[in-house]
Amino acid sequence: LSPSILDGTCQGSDPGAIDIVAAYDSVLPMPLLTSLRTAFGPSSPFWTEHGYPTPCFFSYNEPLNRASEGGASLIRAAVEHVRPLAQRSFPRLFGGQGVHSGGQ
């Protein structure tokens, strides 16, 4: 990482290059972030309940549309907060032109 990222002098810098990379701070509201930290923290039962660590790669496929019920509602809540930023930063993934928030 760039030293400016580590020492904090990058504050207020351009959020990235459209359709290539983007970085945002403080995107999730604190209650949601706290819930995610609890659900997926190192001492969370999630890891042992899902047999982690494992020598094999594993992942989950969770429908992210708003009509989904049950399942990983916490993950969907995080996605709904991040989705507008992703749409703006990576418009081609979403089939649009997008608007770069850096003014370029």
**In the block, which residue shows the tokens 């496929």?**
61
CA-CA-CA-CA torsion for 35, 69, 61, 40, nearest 10 degrees?
Answer: 10
Residue 4 has phi, psi (to 5 degrees) of -65, -25
Structure tokens at 20: 């290539």
Name the CA radius of gyration of the chain, rounded: 17
Average pLDDT along the chain:
76
pLDDT digits (tens, 9 = 90+) for 75-88: 888 888 998 998 88
Is pLDDT of 10 > 90? no
Structure tokens at 39: 């659900």
Is pLDDT of 99 > 50? no
The arithmetic mean of pLDDT across residues 80-101, rounded, is 75
Task: Please indicate whether residue 60 or residue 103 has the higher confidence score (pLDDT).
Answer: 60
Is pLDDT of 103 > 60? no
pLDDT of residue 67: 59
pLDDT digits (tens, 9 = 90+) for 42-57: 999 988 888 888 888 7
